[in-house]
């Protein structure tokens, strides 16, 4: 399992084809009852009929009310109070270790050699859905789940791993505790979501001194 | 390379043995005759001709049953950086007088004393590579393929674009210079090639919109002597093969990340050039896109391009030609052999770049109907077209956005080096028997290119199983003389001995095959991923084979779906040394 988490979205398109078939044949009723899941595919209200390669995030449908339809374990995480402003160090550390390999330090994700992790800068998801996405991942895409018991019972999206075709859900490299998931979500919302192009200040805040990784933001392009 | 002056070089070798050059002094003479120093491995590819052939023969079919691990040494460099969660090993150790010099993926250099049947670390040079700066723009892994000798210095590269000279005795850095710029997406993974008193460097980054080059640094003055761009500037010959109106050449790719070879007879450096960028959207860059996907002959003193041979014009597949050119005299001709990522092995005349023969070396090849025996171009190449379609139903394009190609975009054959047995006239290719799926994404002029971000015009995925083979070719005729199939793609490269061929699989299996029949004769499970070539050396009168073990490169990030069992291989970093007991 270990290497799966490294692939980011490279399997996204292939996986979507499988996922389209999968959802259609097994889960249509569930799907209709769970608009969130369909929103999760990033391409409108149902399983995508054909791959739509794009490094740009697909338009996000409006989010349902916060907390709606969340399984209890996820709702419990969403109920963790927001991080105090300025208290984002832990979230940043965890983001760097668990998310940056695919979404990049700046959260832009983007067209890759092997696919695309969606942009967290352009995401329309609210805190509960970001938490759900981190905890549950996205079945049929390259987004892994980070909560140990996400699919142990009928948890995330009402699914259990034992009932799913192999490879449908990806297990993260490291599992995260509920408080850690909330901390990452708060970090994403406070520093990444809604931002435009990455800036020098953001880069410095992420890497600190000692690496030349922020060079390109210093020089006028 | 010419083997005719054997007597002369043998005499010279005897002379050197009688009155040896100062210990540790690797002179130009010694490098020119590196193939004659049986117990040493002085150049990246063993000799300037890139034969990777050892004349040592203590390890042979009769003694193989007694071939065992003599010793191991744990190295570092497994840590991640940038988009990479771990580093790996792709290097070829160098050996001189019983000392080994190896690098890990982040460019640390280790000197190891191999005397007395064990390996003792003498020193380690840590270049303190800027992990995030470099690792974020390394398309295909945290890799460093090895070192080079020049007098009493060991010359290496770092992923963050430096050329470093280290004192062989003390392990201290004597000087260093920045040759590549990660701000532009340039990184360096290859070993330097020493020619005359120059270090030749190649660059990686065609997936990040670089304009590729080969550069020569004077090792005495530490200044650049020449830098030859693989994509011509406006007005230079070849510029007319970039026919767009948005300066695609500026981000045209053409990287040079595999160490080339050198022909002293004509003072020519022979070096392979990578794919054009963006990889899969060839409508963005109409024209043949010289000198991408080509073998180049460069004048060693000036870097001037003397000749070229292009394999896949206006490439829509990512079929680069960075592979090493193996210099062989066969069938009365001075050849350069190259096993291309496009699945076809080529022989050209290395004095002028003229085509001689071509042979598909993979089991399945779908992108072309064959090679024109006169020109060496794919038969479906149409010089009237600006955007090539080859076999249109297969070829990725803006019209054919999702398509399976064979071989897959990783090749055919990737960087892992071939080897050549001059006595048998047989050339051994480590093959990736593959198809994979390409999804094209249209590249928008003025919008898609961003510094330090992928610039690929699409991406691969791997819905089908990929295997491998060791394929033998007769150099004189180009005929395939054998194929030993392997469960996994061969990602490590080959060593040839008088009687054996050795290579490793990414599941950790290290193999010895019979040189003539390719019968598998011996194997050893190293227990980790092999993505580096074996080499041979002698110390205390005994032959050993050294192999770096620790899966590096692009496979586990981009291609692992094609080999699901390899998902359980853990990152590691280990030197294995095998000997007869």
**Known catalytic residues of B?**
318
Q: Is B178 exposed, middle or buried (0-12, 13-18, 19+ CB in 10 A)?
A: exposed
Which residues of chain B have a Cβ shorter than 8 Å from any chain A Cβ?
Answer: 80, 83-85, 130-133, 136, 139-140, 160, 182-183, 207, 401-402, 437, 439-441, 448, 451-454, 456, 458-461, 463, 554, 556-558, 560-561, 566-570
- Per-residue pLDDT, B23: 56
Q: Nearest chain B Cα to A104, which residue?
A: B83
Percentage helix, strand, coil, to 5, in chain A? 45, 5, 50
A173 near B CB under 8 A: yes
Residue A71 to residues A153, A179, B311, B429: CA-CA distances in angstroms? 11, 17, 56, 54
- Per-residue pLDDT, B83: 87
Q: Which of A11, A98, A113 to mutate to test the interface with B (most CBs of B within 10 A)?
A: A113
Q: Is B12 exposed, middle or buried (0-12, 13-18, 19+ CB in 10 A)?
A: middle
Q: pLDDT over 90 for what percent of chain A?
A: 41
Assign B211 to helix, strand or coil: strand
- Per-residue pLDDT, B349: 98
Of A54, A102, A113, the CB nearest to B207: A113
Q: A183: part of which helix (H) or strand (E)?
A: helix A178-191
Q: Which residues of chain A have pLDDT under 70?
A: 1-68, 111-115, 219-221
Distance from CA of B224 to the nearest CA of A (A): 23
- Per-residue pLDDT, A208: 87
Residue B406 to residues B37, B108, B414: CA-CA distances in angstroms? 41, 37, 14
**Residue A187: inside a domain:** yes
- Per-residue pLDDT, A109: 84
Q: A136: part of which helix (H) or strand (E)?
A: helix A127-136
**Residue A29: inside a domain:** no
ipTM of this predicted structure? 0.73
Angstrom distance (rounded) from CA B484 to CA B151: 40
Residue A49 to residues A26, A133, B546: CA-CA distances in angstroms? 16, 22, 52
**Residue A4: inside a domain:** no
Distance from CA of B568 to the nearest CA of A (A): 6
The CATH number that domain B10-580 falls under is 2.140.10.10
Q: Residue A126 belongs to what domain range?
A: 72-217
Angstrom distance (rounded) from CA B93 to CA B548: 8
Tens digit of pLDDT for each residue in B169-180? 999 999 999 999
Q: How far apart are the first and last CA of chain A?
A: 41
- Per-residue pLDDT, A57: 38
Report DSSP letters for B494-512, one per residue: EEE-SSEEEEE-TTSEEEE
Range of lowest pLDDT (A67-76, B245-254, B373-382, B403-412): A67-76
Q: Which residues pair with B461 in a beta bridge?
A: B437
Of B402, B448, B560, the CB nearest to A7: B560
Number of domains, chain A: 1
Cis peptide before B360 (omega within 30 of 0): no
- Per-residue pLDDT, A87: 83
- The whole-model pTM stands at 0.87
Residues of chain B with Cβ-Cβ distance to A219 below 8 Å are 183
- Per-residue pLDDT, A25: 39
**Residue A64: inside a domain:** no
Tens digit of pLDDT for each residue in B347-382? 999 999 999 999 999 999 999 999 999 999 999 999
Report DSSP letters for B293-332, one per residue: TEEEEEETTT--EEEEEESSTT-SS---B-SPPEEEEETT
Question: Beta strands B213-218 and B224-229: pairing type?
Answer: antiparallel
In this prediction, residues B526-541 reach a mean pLDDT of 97
B456 and A6: CB-CB below 8 Å? no
Say which residues have a Cβ less than 8 Å from residue B152's Cβ, sequence separation at least 6: B24, B25, B26, B167, B168, B169
B459 and A110: CB-CB below 8 Å? no
Helix count and strand count (H, E) for chain B = 3, 35
């Amino acid at each position: 399992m270990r290497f799966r988490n490294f692939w980011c979205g490279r399997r996204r398109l292939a996986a979507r084809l499988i996922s389209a078939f999968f959802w259609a044949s097994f889960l249509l009723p569930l799907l209709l009852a769970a608009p969130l899941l369909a929103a999760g595919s990033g391409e409108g209200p149902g399983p995508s009929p054909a791959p739509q390669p794009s490094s740009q995030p697909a338009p996000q449908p409006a989010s349902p009310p916060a907390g709606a339809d969340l399984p209890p374990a996820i709702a419990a995480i969403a109920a963790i109070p927001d991080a105090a402003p300025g208290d984002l160090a832990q979230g940043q550390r965890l983001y760097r270790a668990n998310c940056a390999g695919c979404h990049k330090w700046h959260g832009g994700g983007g067209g890759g050699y092997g696919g695309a992790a969606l942009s967290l800068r352009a995401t329309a998801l609210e805190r509960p859905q970001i938490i759900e996405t981190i905890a549950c991942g996205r079945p049929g895409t390259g987004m892994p789940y980070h909560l140990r018991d996400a699919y142990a019972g009928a948890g995330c999206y009402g699914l259990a791993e034992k009932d799913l075709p192999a490879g449908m859900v990806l297990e993260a490299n490291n599992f995260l505790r509920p408080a850690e998931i909330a901390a990452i979500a708060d970090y994403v919302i406070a520093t990444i979501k809604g931002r435009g192009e990455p800036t020098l200040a953001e880069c410095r805040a992420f890497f600190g001194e000692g690496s030349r990784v922020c060079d390109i933001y210093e020089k006028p392009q | 390379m010419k083997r005719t002056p054997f007597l002369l070089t043998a005499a010279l070798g005897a002379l050197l043995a009688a009155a040896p050059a100062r210990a540790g002094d690797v002179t130009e003479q010694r490098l020119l005759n590196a193939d004659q120093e049986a117990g040493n491995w002085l150049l990246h590819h063993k000799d300037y001709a890139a034969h990777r052939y050892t004349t040592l023969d203590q390890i042979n079919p009769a003694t193989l049953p007694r071939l065992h691990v003599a010793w191991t040494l744990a190295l570092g460099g497994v840590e991640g950086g940038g988009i990479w969660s771990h580093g790996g090993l792709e290097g070829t150790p160098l050996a001189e007088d019983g000392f080994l010099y190896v690098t890990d993926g982040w460019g640390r250099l280790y000197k190891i004393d191999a005397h007395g049947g064990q390996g003792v670390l003498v020193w380690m040079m840590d270049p303190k590579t800027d992990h995030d700066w470099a690792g974020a723009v390394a398309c295909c892994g945290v890799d460093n393929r090895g070192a080079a000798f020049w007098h009493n210095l060991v010359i290496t590269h770092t992923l963050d674009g430096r050329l470093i000279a280290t004192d062989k005795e003390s392990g201290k850095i004597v000087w260093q210079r920045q040759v590549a710029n990660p701000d532009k997406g340039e990184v360096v993974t290859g070993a330097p090639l020493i020619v005359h008193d120059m270090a030749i460097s190649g660059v990686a980054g065609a997936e990040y919109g670089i304009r590729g080059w080969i550069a020569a640094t004077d090792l005495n003055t530490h200044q650049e002597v020449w830098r030859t761009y693989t994509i011509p500037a406006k007005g230079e010959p070849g510029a007319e093969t970039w026919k767009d109106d948005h300066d695609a050449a500026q981000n045209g790719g053409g990287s040079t990340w595999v160490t080339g070879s050198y022909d002293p007879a004509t003072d020519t450096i022979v070096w392979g050039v990578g794919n054009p960028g963006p990889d899969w959207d060839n409508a963005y860059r109409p024209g043949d896109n010289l000198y991408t996907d080509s073998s180049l002959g460069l004048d060693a003193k000036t870097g001037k391009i003397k000749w070229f041979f292009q394999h896949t014009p206006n490439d829509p597949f990512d079929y680069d030609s960075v592979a090493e050119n193996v210099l062989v005299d066969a069938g009365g001709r001075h050849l350069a052999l190259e096993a291309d990522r496009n699945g076809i092995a080529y022989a050209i005349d290395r004095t002028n770049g003229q085509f001689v023969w071509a042979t598909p070396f993979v089991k399945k090849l779908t992108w072309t109907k064959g090679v024109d025996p006169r020109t060496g171009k794919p038969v479906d190449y149409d010089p009237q077209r600006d955007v090539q379609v080859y076999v249109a139903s297969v070829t990725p394009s803006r019209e054919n956005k999702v398509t399976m190609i064979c071989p897959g975009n990783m090749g055919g054959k990737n960087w892992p080096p071939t080897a050549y047995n001059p006595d048998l006239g047989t050339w051994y290719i480590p093959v990736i028997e593959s198809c994979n799926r390409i999804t094209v994404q249209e590249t928008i002029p003025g919008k898609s290119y961003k510094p330090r971000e992928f610039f690929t015009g699409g991406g691969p995925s791997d819905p089908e199983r990929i295997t491998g083979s060791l394929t033998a070719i007769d150099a004189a005729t180009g005929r395939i003389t054998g194929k030993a199939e392997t469960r996994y793609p061969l990602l490590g490269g080959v060593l040839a001995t008088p009687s054996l061929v050795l290579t490793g699989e990414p599941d950790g299996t290290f193999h010895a095959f019979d040189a003539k029949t390719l019968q598998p004769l011996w194997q050893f499970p190293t227990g980790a991923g092999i993505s580096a070539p074996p080499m041979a050396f002698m110390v205390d009168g005994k032959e050993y084979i050294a192999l770096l073990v620790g899966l590096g490169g692009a496979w586990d990030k981009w291609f692992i779906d094609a080999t699901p069992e390899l998902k359980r291989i853990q990152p590691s970093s280990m030197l294995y040394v095998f000997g007869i007991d």
